[in-house]
């Protein structure tokens, strides 16, 4: 269950990171409120997952999911630059996230 919470927390991190773009500096009320809700929920779920998972692993996976998801959505939604090397490094980030789950994710 902690890994499910952590996955959801990471996905919510993607939501609030992308949401920041839509808030336009927190001048748009609805996107600002939704971004704040996603941020709070993401951190709460990370906190709950960290009760059972090592904090270093939980935090690294949470940040990794958020960074990977935000980078992918940045490419898709905002037409951010994409290059073969950027794809390679995003792939390496994915491998690192999976590697942390497989090797360092023991519940304590």
Residue with tokens 């995003």: 90
Spatial separation of the C-alpha atoms in residues 11 and 69, rounded to whole Å: 7
Coil, strand or helix: which one is 22? Answer: helix
Is this prediction's pTM over 0.85? yes
Taking only the tens place, the pLDDT of each residue in 80-101 is 999 999 999 999 999 999 999 9
Spatial separation of the C-alpha atoms in residues 12 and 39, rounded to whole Å: 7
Q: Measure CA 98 to chain center.
A: 14
Taking only the tens place, the pLDDT of each residue in 27-72 is 999 999 999 999 999 999 999 999 999 999 999 999 999 999 999 9
Distances, alpha carbon 88 to alpha carbons 59, 68, 80, 91, 103, in Å: 23, 12, 16, 5, 22
């Amino acid at each position: 269950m902690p890994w499910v919470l952590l996955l959801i927390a990471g996905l919510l991190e993607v939501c609030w990171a992308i949401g920041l773009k839509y808030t336009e500096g927190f001048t748009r009320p609805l996107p600002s409120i939704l971004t704040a809700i996603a941020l709070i929920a993401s951190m709460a779920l990370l906190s709950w997952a960290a009760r059972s998972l090592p904090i270093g692993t939980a935090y690294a996976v949470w940040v990794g999911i958020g960074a990977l998801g935000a980078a992918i959505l940045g490419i898709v939604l905002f037409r951010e630059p994409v290059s073969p090397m950027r794809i390679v490094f995003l792939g390496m980030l994915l491998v690192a996230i999976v590697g942390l789950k497989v090797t360092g994710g023991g519940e304590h």
